[in-house]
Chains A and B, each alone.
Chain A
Amino acid sequence: MLPIDAAAHSSRWRRRHPVDKAVLGLGLTVLAVCLPPWPGAALVLLTALTVLLGPAGVPPRKLWRAYRVPLGFCVTGALTLIVQLGGPEGFVTLADGGPARAGGLLLRTSAASLGVLLFAFTTPMSDLLPRLVKAGVPAPVVDVALVMYRMSFLLLDSMSRIRQAQAARLGHTTRAATWRSLGGLGATAFVRAFDRATRLQAGLAGRGYDGTLRVLVPEARISRSFVAASAALLTGLAALTLVLERLLR
């Protein structure tokens, strides 16, 4: 199982309805994108971090491991805003207001990423996917996504074992051997995926499979108080941003 999904399964908010967590987590993301980076995104970043490490109880180390991935892209992308091409002073020069734009972009992406991580670290995919049908996603697409989700872990596990076996047989010692091993790994993943699908089909056909995958979804109710508190928090953040923005001008 992937670290974020594993953490979501053991989260304090695991039993909460996905809508509760979507309002808070994705609401914070939307605020981070729509509000001015300073002070809006900075406030959202602090709030998301407080909720993640406080009430949601996400372990800091796991959060950092997941968070550094989007941060790497953000830093690389933001660096390009610091310089400009062409102009009278030279081919590559520092852009006017470039550091401020780069800083604003970093704040916005960091805050928005934390909002999504809040949702991801508290909502397992197995809770989310079956409920997408109620949100209007066609049932066949949800079924395909469910099979993808469940099969991905098996395939990742298989590939990890195959890679270990290849390494034990000196399959990664030279560049040519590495390419052969990688090709074998990709082809084996394909063969295993289709083999599993065929066997799964045979097993389901014996149980009266009619094309619909019925899975048990843990019961949960949308908490009005949680949603109301989240909405109040988001409104408060937006209002505070507007007030602070005027004061800081």
Chain B
Amino acid sequence: MHIAEGFLPPAHAIAWGVASAPFVVHGVRSLTREVKEHPESTLLLGASGAFTFVLSALKIPSVTGSCSHPTGTGLGAILFRPPIMAVLGTITLLFQALLLAHGGLTTLGANVFSMAIVGPWAGYAVYRLLKRYDVPLMVAVFFGAFVADLSTYCVTSVQLALAFPDPSSGFVGALGKFGGIFAVTQIPLAVSEGLLTVVVMRLLVQSSKGELTRLGVLLQGGKKADEGGKKDTDAKKCTDTEKDTDTKSETGASA
């Protein structure tokens, strides 16, 4: 669920745009550097973005019986890392605004902040944290996708509550209202997205080990990246991709 065109007052729309800008600029710099060093990455990044766009068009069954769309931010962050997802997410949101009339241009900054920044970073942080404690890959993937989805909608609720505080109970009351409508109803959907992401990841581990290794999700030979890093002392010199991944995650953490 994106915030629709014109829904936010001008000052809020500008403020969220300003808040999103550093993350997007950081992502654009990472992407530009990557493309300059490896020109062929343009096509793979384009493919990744197209995958994210298409994933958000999948209809998933909700526990309540209705249907909804996954945000795709959790899977995207795990596969492509949050800085890249900030750019791919921004382009995806622009496409959704102009091609599907989902979201909007004046609310692009707010939507980018919730869906392309907070969602991917929160989901990726949980994923990395669980991996650090040797939690199985699929459990980490589930919670990464779950948190990414839920945090996206919680931030959307906060954005709406800040823009439209309740006349009687102020920001807290408005957060309860918008949270009740958007975030709480999203819990079953976040569970659904977590489950779907696990199913997708299981199939990818079976069918696309090469791509997952290139993206740093798996080590060479199909081992799970963080497990391998602990068990195998040669993990550091395993692949250039893995080194690149670590650098990216460190850069991302400092941002």
| Neighbouring A residues of B35 by C-beta, 8 Å | 140, 143-144, 211
A203 to chain B, nearest CB (A): 10
Question: Is the CB–CB distance between B53 and A77 below 8 Å?
Answer: no
Of B10, B46, B102, B181, the contact of A80 (CB 8 Å cutoff): B181
Question: Is the CB–CB distance between B195 and A190 below 8 Å?
Answer: no
Question: Is the CB–CB distance between B177 and A85 below 8 Å?
Answer: yes
Q: Tell me if A179 counts as interface (CB < 8 A to partner B).
A: yes
Residues of chain B at interface, number, CB under 8 A = 72
Bound-complex Cα distance A241 to B110 (A) = 28
Of A69, A93, A101, the contact of B101 (CB 8 Å cutoff): A69
Given A32-B6, A77-B4, A140-B35, A189:B55 Cβ within 8 A: yes
Say what secondary structure dominates the interface of chain A.
Answer: helix
15 contacts between A and B (CB under 8 A): A2-B100, A77-B160, A93-B168, A112-B104, A120-B97, A141-B32, A144-B49, A145-B49, A155-B51, A156-B54, A183-B199, A189-B54, A189-B55, A190-B200, A197-B44
Chain B residues close to A by CB (< 8 Å): 1-7, 9-10, 13, 28, 31-32, 35-36, 39-40, 42-51, 53-55, 57-58, 60-61, 75, 87-88, 91-92, 94-95, 97-102, 104-106, 160, 164, 166-169, 173-174, 176-178, 181, 195-196, 199-200, 202-204, 207-208, 211
Chain A residues close to B by CB (< 8 Å): 2, 4-5, 26, 29-30, 32-34, 66-67, 69-70, 73-74, 76-77, 80-81, 83-87, 93, 95-98, 101, 105, 108-113, 115-117, 119-120, 125, 128, 138, 140-141, 143-152, 155-156, 159, 175, 178-180, 182-187, 189-191, 193-194, 196-198, 200-201, 204-205, 209-211, 213
